Chain A
Amino acid sequence: MNALPWSSSAALPPTENQPIAPVIETAGSDGSAESKGESQQDLLVFGKSDIKIKPKGVRVGNETVLGTDDRVRITNTKAPPWRKIAGLKLKPRPPQTSSYIGTGWFIGPKTLLTAGHCVYSPSDFNGWIGSIEVSPGQDAGVSPFRTVTATKFFALQQWINSADPDHDIGCIQLAEPLGEEVGYFKIASQTDAELENALVNISGYPGDLDNGRNQYFHQNRVLRTSAHRIYYDVDTYGGQSGSPVWVQASATSEAVAVAVHAYGIGGTAPSLGVTANSGPRLTPEIVLTVKEWLQAASA
């Protein structure tokens, strides 16, 4: 690997001078559940921008809300895409009795993606998590659909072997096809050119607001990409690990998830020269692995 392997939002050749890989993707769905009320889709951002959406304010003191706190509460979590996103309560195996809050999102009828550290972490919960309560569209601490408990998980081998933040991606398998009701995101491996200056949307369950009981959304721009990570100035906080990072070409086009949010600014190397949160990128190789996870769920 080169000493400075970062690509940036300025035009550069494909990441690390590798040839452009074919785009690998999965199918998405808005689900069969009825959707009523204001969809709040006017919050979403589409396409690209070479300027920030809002001027950066003064840091408000926590690690990962960048500048002023622009997060917006999602009040109609029964509507897509919000209902595809689930609050997670992570319960370690006994005798550990403390717990964790995270976020996951449906990519298939029985499958959610999340951060690898939400399912496997030797230092946080001594290896694999015991169980996860999955609450799609959780609002005021309750899912408008239902909460299901998952006990089957996968994670990228690089995450299991070396806790590499670039491969911090995990998977939750459900016993029932709740994703058929709430819908699921399409995922795709996008090229550096596609991600340059892309506007991204992130929604999840930050634990600093409303005790982690409500879904909050923010959006902004991709600041940098590397071979395995996307960096953005989107406000997040603890509890949003595992949130979807998605792009959308226009209001009428399909949402496409391109990364899994995992780290605040502490996860961004100073050499990048940006203050940004980040998540591992869905590379072609990773999407192929995710497809295997989807097949395992449908088997």
Chain B
Amino acid sequence: MTAAVPRSRCFIHVTLRDGQPLAGARIAVEHASGPVPELMYQTDADGHAQIGLPPGKVRLRIFTASGESRSADIDVGAEPDKTYDVTIDPP
């Protein structure tokens, strides 16, 4: 079996370059150090999403309402409940 790598509770905050939160964005986990479910995560009105992620380098793909996407890399540490700010270029 594939080992169950513990996933920490992570908070992702997505904003555009001008500082506006990206509401209703869809986030997929493209790469991680362990298995991550094939859910699609959606940000709330303030651009926040909660994702369980294994420690290590993680590549997210963020889809806007227009269907365009941007990738973003974060480095997930062992500490739980950390907020990761992700800033993307407008589509």
A, B: real partners = yes
Interface digits, A197-239 against B, CB 8 Å rule (1 contact, 0 not)? 0000000001110111000000000000011110000001111
* A211 CB contact (under 8 Å) in B44, B46, B65: B65
Judge whether B39 and A118 touch: CB under 8 Å. yes
Q: Is A162 an interface residue (CB 8 A)?
A: yes
Q: Is B8 an interface residue (CB 8 A)?
A: yes
Judge whether B26 and A211 touch: CB under 8 Å. yes
Q: How far is the CA of A101 from the CA of B32 in the complex (A)?
A: 19
Judge whether B37 and A208 touch: CB under 8 Å. no
Judge whether B50 and A124 touch: CB under 8 Å. yes
Query: What are the residues of chain B within 8 A of A211 when measuring CB–CB?
Result: 26, 63, 65, 67
The chain B residue sitting closest to A62, CB to CB, is B30
- A168-B37, A238-B39, A267-B2 known; A63 vs B31 contact (CB < 8 Å): yes
Q: How far is the CA of A258 from the CA of B65 in the complex (A)?
A: 34
Judge whether B34 and A266 touch: CB under 8 Å. yes
The chain B residue sitting closest to A97, CB to CB, is B44
Judge whether A124 and B51 touch: CB under 8 Å. yes
Judge whether B38 and A236 touch: CB under 8 Å. yes
Q: Give the size range of B's interface with the partner.
A: 35 or more
Q: Is B52 an interface residue (CB 8 A)?
A: yes
Judge whether A240 and B38 touch: CB under 8 Å. yes
Judge whether B4 and A100 touch: CB under 8 Å. no
Query: What are the residues of chain B within 8 A of A194 when measuring CB–CB?
Result: none
Q: Is A115 an interface residue (CB 8 A)?
A: yes
Judge whether B40 and A268 touch: CB under 8 Å. no
Q: Is A166 an interface residue (CB 8 A)?
A: yes
Closest-CB distance, B54 to chain A (whole angstroms):
9
Query: What are the residues of chain A within 8 A of B4 when measuring CB–CB?
Result: 162-165
Judge whether B39 and A266 touch: CB under 8 Å. no
Q: Is A241 an interface residue (CB 8 A)?
A: yes
Query: What are the residues of chain A within 8 A of B35 when measuring CB–CB?
Result: 165, 263, 266-267
Judge whether A165 and B26 touch: CB under 8 Å. no
Interface digits, A118-143 against B, CB 8 Å rule (1 contact, 0 not)? 10011111100000000000000000
Judge whether B42 and A210 touch: CB under 8 Å. no
* B39 CB contact (under 8 Å) in A5, A124, A166, A229: A124
Judge whether A62 and B32 touch: CB under 8 Å. no
Query: What are the residues of chain A within 8 A of B87 when measuring CB–CB?
Result: none
Interface digits, A167-184 against B, CB 8 Å rule (1 contact, 0 not)? 010000000000000000
Query: What are the residues of chain A within 8 A of B38 when measuring CB–CB?
Result: 64, 115, 236-241, 261-264, 277
Interface digits, B46-61 against A, CB 8 Å rule (1 contact, 0 not)? 1011111100000001
Q: Is A102 an interface residue (CB 8 A)?
A: yes
Judge whether B9 and A122 touch: CB under 8 Å. yes
Judge whether A269 and B2 touch: CB under 8 Å. yes
Task: Spell out A's residues near B (CB within 8 Å).
Answer: 1, 5, 62-64, 90, 92, 96-102, 115, 117-118, 121-126, 162-166, 168, 206-208, 210-212, 226-229, 236-241, 261-264, 266-269, 277
29 chain-A/chain-B pairs, Cβ below 8 angstroms? A62-B30, A63-B28, A63-B30, A63-B31, A90-B39, A98-B43, A98-B48, A98-B49, A98-B50, A122-B9, A124-B41, A124-B50, A125-B50, A166-B1, A207-B40, A210-B67, A211-B26, A211-B65, A229-B2, A238-B27, A238-B38, A239-B26, A262-B37, A263-B2, A263-B35, A264-B38, A266-B29, A267-B36, A268-B2
